A and B are shown apart, each in its own frame.
Chain A
Amino acid sequence: MKVKTEDYNAMLPRRRNIGVTERLLETETDSYNKLDKKGVHYGESRPYENSSNSKSTLILKSSDQDVFKFLEEFVFEPVMASRDRTSEFISTVRSLQGRFLNKPTVRDDRKAAVLETYSQFMSMAKVISKNITSTYTKLEKLALLAKRKSLFDDRPTEIQELTYIIKGDLNSLNQQIARLGEMPRGRRSMHSHSSSVVLALQSRLASMSNQFKQVLEVRSENLKQQNSRREQFSRVTPVVKEVPSLLQQDEVSIDLGEATSLQAQQFAFRDDTDSYVQQRAETMHNIESTIVELGGIFQQLAHMVKEQDEAIGRIDANIHEAEMNVEAGHREILKYFQNVTGNRALMFKVFGVLIFFFIFFVVFMA
């Protein structure tokens, strides 16, 4: 290979590493001050850059092995001149990459596999972002349609169709992104990049679905307004109830769309849809009110338990007191008992009785 480079005598024997774009970006700053593999300093020569690109295209026509050896040994040269050669560079890289993908017999098979998964990943991400932009345009159209407030020019079928399409698109995009997230991603260095790509796509999808929701809300608002205005114009009240949810969007829009014509006849049909919608809404309300009630009950329960807590504290205090009193009384009685059982009291009593009788006898006998 080196022989071939030296064949082009206009150039110095330098190498360029035109590998995958990412590796380039990484090694670009690294290679600023390095010597290349042959020990030659990175100089500056425009004719060299010129010929290098032609060299690369010429090299392409050579044998496969040589092409790839060429690839791995070349180092990306920093562009210190002010000319912007990125377009040429990009075209070169693309052509090389194209070749690269077709023939995975690189010196290092592992590298090839890694690069292949990486490029697959990238192409899939590209597809997904294209889908996202197309869905976005559809969403914009829907938003525009939903904003119209005219009473008669409303096009419910179109809106409904568009809604349906966008819903399907969002679902499929979701699935695609999920699949993308599970794909193998090659080396560690590409992990963060690929995960940030997936994250970016997911965030865009999320913002789009939020917008979709908002558009639907706006549409339902407008429907309600149209409803009230139609009521003013024609004295027949159209049979629409509640705020339609995402699921029932279709029926309600068709409702109003056809209410202008043959209303009496349509009522027989519409009633069923409306009653279904109404029933669902009713059930929802019931559930909601039950939950609210339950919340209230829990609160009351907590309150009562708190009060009883206080009562228990009082009981505790009372019993403590009682214990203390009983203890003290016990001690007193013990003391008394000791007094009583002690000999001193007995002796006092015995002598007291003796002396009393002595005095009694003496007084009475004398």
Chain B
Amino acid sequence: MVKVYALLILYKGINNASILKGAYDLRSFSYFQRSSVQEFMTFVSKTMVERTHPASRQSVKEGEYMLQVYVRADNLAGVLISDHEYPNRVAHTLITKTLDEFTAAVPSSTWATGKESTIDFPSLALHLEKYQNPKEADALTKIQNDLDETKIILHDTIKAVLERGEKLDDLVAKSDSLSMHSKAFYKTAAKTNSCCNF
């Protein structure tokens, strides 16, 4: 079951990484564990971003979670924490898209100094929600699925059309014999009439 646990945006400074904004979905953990899990997530993402070179992506397995990191050339980084089944490509697409939106929404001057409280980017949480179901949210996956469905439907259609063809052939034969019989009928009738006319 694919699940996304957290989506964070960080800024990779010279020596450390700072979290600019984060959205968490910790419903699957028990209430008391949540805060510690969240801290753990922030710590791990900070470490990962510090260790990653700019303009590169990484997907790291961490216990039972999968960490997808993308650090852009201008030191803006996005981290997605999900379970193992979440497709890598979709995760990185999501991160890239979120980073682009973030760049558009928040001016780059505040990146180096921003804190979670000062920066406002509400659509992060929305994205997290939406991408819980990667099949629907990601355009590529959706297109692929739709196309596959369409292909199946078309296969069924072709089968139906073949059956229709058979039935039509049947009909052709029957109508042929019908016309032959009617001709014979006509000939007999004509003969009866033409023979001896009192």
Binding site for B on A (CB under 8 A): 157, 160-161, 164, 247, 250-251, 254, 269-270, 272-273, 275-276, 279-280, 283-284, 286-287, 290-291, 293-294, 297-298, 300-301, 304-305, 307-308, 311-312, 314-315, 318-319, 321-326, 328-330, 332-333, 335-336, 339, 344-345, 348-349
Contacts and interface: CB of A to CB of B under 8 A. Distances in A.
A366 B57 CA distance: 134
Interface in B162-191: 162, 164-165, 168-169, 171-172, 175-176, 178-179, 181-183, 185-186, 188-190
A365 B188 CA distance: 44
Interface stretch (B78-86, B121-129, B146-154): B146-154
A280 B141 CA distance: 10
Contact of B188 (A321, A323, A329): A329
B43 to A, nearest CB: 21
A161 B189 contact: no
Contacts of A283: 89, 140, 144
Contacts of A294: 147, 150-151, 154
Contact of B57 (A251, A321, A323): A251
B179 A319 contact: yes
Contact of B185 (A291, A307, A329): A329
Contacts of B158: 297, 300-301, 304
B168 A164 contact: no
A284 B144 CA distance: 9
B151 A293 contact: yes
B110 interface: no
B1 interface: no
Given A304-B165, A307-B165, A329-B190, 18 more contacts: A251-B57, A254-B55, A269-B56, A275-B88, A280-B89, A287-B144, A290-B147, A294-B154, A312-B168, A314-B172, A314-B175, A319-B175, A319-B178, A322-B179, A329-B182, A329-B185, A336-B192, A348-B198
A332 B168 contact: no
Contacts of A304: 158, 161-162, 165
30 contacts: A164-B73, A164-B74, A251-B57, A269-B58, A272-B59, A280-B140, A283-B140, A287-B144, A287-B147, A297-B151, A297-B158, A300-B158, A304-B161, A304-B165, A308-B165, A311-B168, A311-B169, A312-B168, A318-B176, A318-B179, A319-B175, A319-B178, A321-B179, A322-B178, A325-B182, A328-B190, A329-B186, A332-B190, A332-B193, A349-B198
Contacts of A297: 151, 154-155, 158
B143 A287 contact: yes
Contacts of B135: none
A308 B55 contact: no
A298 B169 contact: no
Contact of A335 (B155, B165, B186, B193): B193
Contacts of A269: 52-53, 56, 58
Nearest to B55: A254
Nearest to A252: B55
B171 A308 contact: no
B109 interface: no
Nearest to B184: A325
Interface in B41-70: 52-53, 55-59
Nearest to A318: B175
Contact of A333 (B55, B161, B189): B189
